[in-house]
């Protein structure tokens, strides 16, 4: 039994980044998803990794821009149906793909995803495209960890947390109860300890039937977050079907 315990634990430790970062292949072109007038950009990080991003300019100066940080699986094309709803509402969108995802080179880690996001913020600033106060910083699942980190460094129009988690340690500990997760998890993304430092308005969206990240994570984060804040907790929603419930309407309303 001891040998099995050690072997299984060692396997989890070695493979954990493949579990946390389920890297994806290359997406199709934006028009193949029904998206028109989308610029395909290659934004360089500080350590010279090119990140594929899709950009659509806001229709007017009064419309915000959604900077979208995606979750731990699939390429950015899988988010096309999501961002289309904001584009159709006149919003600008910058959809970012992480290193290791969507055909990008590089190795995703917590530190490297923060570097990717910081490089995106620097690029936005250098291009003089959008002011931070016009940015709605959107995090989907794993992306919420990066959004909260960026929101401790900058102030945005708002931040949106879709299916967030308190920390990767908490998720791992619940799933693998027999192991001391806090000593074994490499990429902790400790959202709970950071969210109190966020001063931007916060909207948290979660499905009460989320089968990946228990809904209680969203409740804990909401209770810890500063005002102004709001939530959308959907009784029948799971982890990956929140847009079946038209959650973009709440996002848009929150930013009026």
Q: How confident is the model at residue 219 (pLDDT cuts 50, 70, 90)?
A: very high
pLDDT greater than 90 at residue 240: yes
In the prediction, which pLDDT does 12 show?
A: 87
pLDDT greater than 90 at residue 8: no
Q: How do beta strands 202-207 and 158-162 pair?
A: parallel
In the prediction, which pLDDT does 194 show?
A: 98
Supply angle C-alpha 219, 118, 189, rounded to 5: 35
- pLDDT tens across 68-115, in order? 999 999 999 999 999 999 999 999 999 999 999 999 999 999 999 999
Q: How do beta strands 229-234 and 202-207 pair?
A: parallel
Q: How far apart are CA 166 and CA 141, in angstroms?
A: 11
Q: Domain with 234 in it: what CATH number?
A: 3.40.50.1820
Retrieve residue 61's tokens: 């100066």
pLDDT greater than 90 at residue 4: no
Q: How far apart are CA 110 and CA 142, in angstroms?
A: 10
In the prediction, which pLDDT does 11 show?
A: 85
Average pLDDT over residues 9-23: 89
In the prediction, which pLDDT does 75 show?
A: 96
Q: How many helices (H) and strands (E) does the chain have?
A: 9, 8
Q: How far apart are CA 152 and CA 199, in angstroms?
A: 8
In the prediction, which pLDDT does 13 show?
A: 87
Overall size of the chain counted in residues: 256
Q: How confident is the model at residue 147 (pLDDT cuts 50, 70, 90)?
A: very high
Q: Judge whether 87 and 56 are in contact, CB under 8 Å.
A: yes
Q: How many domains does the chain have?
A: 1
Q: How confident is the model at residue 139 (pLDDT cuts 50, 70, 90)?
A: very high
What is the residue-wise DSSP string for 123-148?
HHHHHT---GGGEEEEEETHHHHHHH
Residue 68's Cα: distance from chain center in Å? 7
At residue 32, the 3 state secondary structure works out as helix
pLDDT greater than 80 at residue 150: yes
Retrieve residue 112's tokens: 């490297």
Average pLDDT over residues 219-235: 98
Q: Where are the alpha helices (DSSP H) in the chain?
A: 2-20, 80-87, 110-127, 142-151, 168-175, 181-184, 191-194, 216-224, 248-254
- State the chain's mean pLDDT as an integer: 96
Looking at the DSSP assignment, which residues form a beta bridge with residue 140? 162
Report the percentage of the chain scoring pLDDT > 70. Answer: 100
- pLDDT tens across 180-199, in order? 888 899 999 999 999 999 99
pLDDT greater than 80 at residue 7: no
What is the span of the domain harbouring residue 125? 2-254
pTM of the predicted structure, to 2 decimals? 0.95
């Amino acid at each position: 039994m001891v040998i099995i315990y050690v072997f299984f634990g060692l396997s989890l430790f070695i493979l954990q980044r493949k579990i946390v970062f389920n890297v994806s292949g290359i997406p199709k072109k934006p028009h193949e998803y029904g998206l028109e007038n989308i610029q395909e950009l290659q934004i360089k990080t500080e350590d010279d990794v090119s990140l594929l991003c899709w950009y659509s300019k806001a229709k007017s100066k009064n419309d915000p821009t959604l900077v979208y940080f995606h979750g731990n699986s699939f390429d950015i094309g899988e988010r096309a149906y999501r961002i289309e709803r904001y584009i159709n509402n006149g919003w600008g969108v910058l959809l970012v793909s992480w290193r290791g995802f969507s055909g990008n080179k590089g190795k995703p880690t917590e530190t490297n995803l923060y570097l990717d996001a910081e490089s995106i913020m620097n690029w936005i600033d250098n291009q003089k495209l959008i002011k931070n106060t016009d940015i709605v910083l959107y995090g989907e699942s794993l992306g919420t960890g990066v959004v909260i980190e960026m929101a401790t460094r900058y102030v945005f129009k708002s931040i949106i947390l879709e299916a967030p988690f308190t920390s990767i340690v908490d998720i791992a500990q619940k799933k693998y109860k027999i192991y001391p997760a806090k000593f074994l998890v490499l990429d902790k993304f400790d959202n709970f300890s950071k969210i109190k430092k966020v001063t931007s308005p916060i909207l948290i969206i979660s499905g009460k039937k989320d089968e990946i990240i228990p809904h209680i994570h969203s409740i804990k984060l909401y209770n810890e977050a500063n005002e102004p804040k709001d939530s959308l907790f959907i009784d029948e929603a799971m982890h990956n079907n929140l847009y079946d419930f038209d959650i973009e309407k709440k996002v848009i309303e929150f930013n009026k």
